[in-house]
Amino acid sequence: MSEKKQNPWEMALSQFKKAADVINLSDDLRAVLSVPQREIHVALPVKMDNGKVKVFTGYRVQHNNARGPYKGGIRYHPNVSIEEVKALSMWMTWKTAVLDLPLGGAKGGIICDPKNLSIGENERLTRRYAYAISKFIGPYEDVPAPDVYTTPQHMAWIMDVYSALAGHYEPGVITGKPIESGGSLGRSNSTSRGVAITVAEAAKRMNIKLKDASVAIQGFGNVGSNAAIIMAQEYGMKIVAVSDSKGGIYKKEGLNVGSVLKEKEKSGTVTTLNGVEKISNEEVLTLDVDVLVPAALEEVITEKNASKIKAKIISEGANGPTTPEADEILFKKGSLVIPDILANSGGVTVSYFEWVQDLQRLWWSEEEVNRMLTERMTKSFNDVYDAMKKYKIDMRTAALTLAVKRVSDAVTARGIWP
């Protein structure tokens, strides 16, 4: 049995306090930012395929909108809790601020097991949830997005419900939609692109030559596989190891990413590829490489294995893959951890672009979206890196410090009224 994980809301508050201490934030601002502005709990009666009615519980937590409309995903999972949703809403406030987006932070969730729901049940649950929170969302109020086990289709259903209630087509109420429903080109691999962009910027700062720099990726799902493609094809980096839930593969000379993708599609795992060395997920983390991308589960880099990690750059494609204890060890040994709040924020950045396009009814090419994403991610990385150097702290604390400062400045400028 693994140790019981820390309450996510307590963790979020602890991180906030650490950042607030760095900038000597006033007690008044700490009080304002340490609580969500609104918590919404909804009961969702849904008629199941067997004709019976089941009542699900849903949440929407809106943490702060001092810099703009609330923004954050909606997740479907059996383990969704109000503490988790509150923490995620606070982290979204910091994430949008790190990227200097004119948005706030929110998060939503429904306690359910989507794998055991039919398409019809999924749709009825989603539409009921959209109806239940419809008075609290909107293009200038709160703009949700996909998250764990929700898809562009779920977003299209929510947009349809909101549009029907509003009496007109309103694509700007939600992002992560299908292209034909007002979605943005470049959204599907934007998180992966953000990971690659921040790695490239870190390499510049650390004088690591990008071409043929070695990369290990734990987690070959959507984020990990697309990051591998972008880093190999666009940056000339050498992907030497990847893994999925079944295990990992390693080839010192570099893997052919296209062949790995084909094998994954064919057999459902990368481990059946021929001509490579089979290694464990744990071994992927401790390989002697320039770059490590943990893009699978949370809390995989801990105080037990942090001292064994040899990568000079760790870019967090997943949320929360590094524990606070491991952060300290990696910082002391000189590894640069690009925190999830920065590394995997390409998704929310292109969600912002999608929202702007929807409001204007003017859509951009994929090339234009990627160019703007590169510009914003590059600036944000360097803002955080400079804060790290200024305060002599790790990158995670630097990112949070920068974010808390931007949000607290916005709260101060607007004032408390009435």
How many DSSP H helices and E strands does the chain contain?
14, 12
pLDDT for the residue 8: 86
User: Quick one: DSSP state of residue 3?
Assistant: P
The model's confidence at residue 182, banded by pLDDT at 50, 70 and 90, is: very high
Query: Mean pLDDT over residues 336-350, rounded?
Result: 95
DSSP 149-197: T--HHHHHHHHHHHHHHHTS--GGG-SS--GGGT--TT-TTHHHHHHHH
pLDDT for the residue 2: 47
pLDDT tens digit sequence for 103-142? 999 999 999 999 999 999 999 999 999 999 999 999 999 9
Query: Mean pLDDT over residues 295-322, rounded?
Result: 91
Q: Residues 71, 86, 95, 107: which is the catalytic one?
A: 107
54 is catalytic: no
CATH of domain 38-170: 3.40.50.10860
Q: What is the pTM of this model?
A: 0.92
Mean pLDDT of the residues in the chain: 94
How many Å apart are CA 61 and CA 137, to the nearest integer? 11
**Residue reference for tokens 């692109």:** 193
How many Å apart are CA 43 and CA 59, to the nearest integer? 9
| Contact between residue 97 and residue 62 where contact means Cβ atoms under 8 Å apart | no
Inter-CA distances, 154 with 135, 149, 268, Å: 18, 10, 25
How many Å apart are CA 79 and CA 85, to the nearest integer? 11
pLDDT tens digit sequence for 259-283? 999 999 999 999 999 999 999 999 9
How many Å apart are CA 221 and CA 209, to the nearest integer? 27
How many Å apart are CA 243 and CA 273, to the nearest integer? 11
pLDDT for the residue 181: 94
pLDDT tens digit sequence for 56-114? 999 999 999 999 999 999 999 999 999 999 999 999 999 999 999 999 999 999 999 99
pLDDT tens digit sequence for 387-398? 999 999 999 999
**Residue reference for tokens 């049940």:** 121
Three-state DSSP at 54 gives strand
The tokens describing 189, both together, are 């691999």
Using a pLDDT cut of 90, give the percent of the chain over it.
91
Q: Is residue 6's pLDDT more than 80?
A: no
Q: Domain 190-343 belongs to what topology?
A: Rossmann fold (3.40.50)
pLDDT for the residue 1: 40
The model's confidence at residue 170, banded by pLDDT at 50, 70 and 90, is: very high
**Domain boundaries of the chain, sorted by first residue:** 38-170, 190-343
The model's confidence at residue 4, banded by pLDDT at 50, 70 and 90, is: low
pLDDT tens digit sequence for 217-258? 999 988 999 999 999 999 999 999 999 989 999 999 999 999
* Domains 38-170 and 190-343 fall in the same CATH topology: yes
The tokens describing 418, both together, are 């009435």
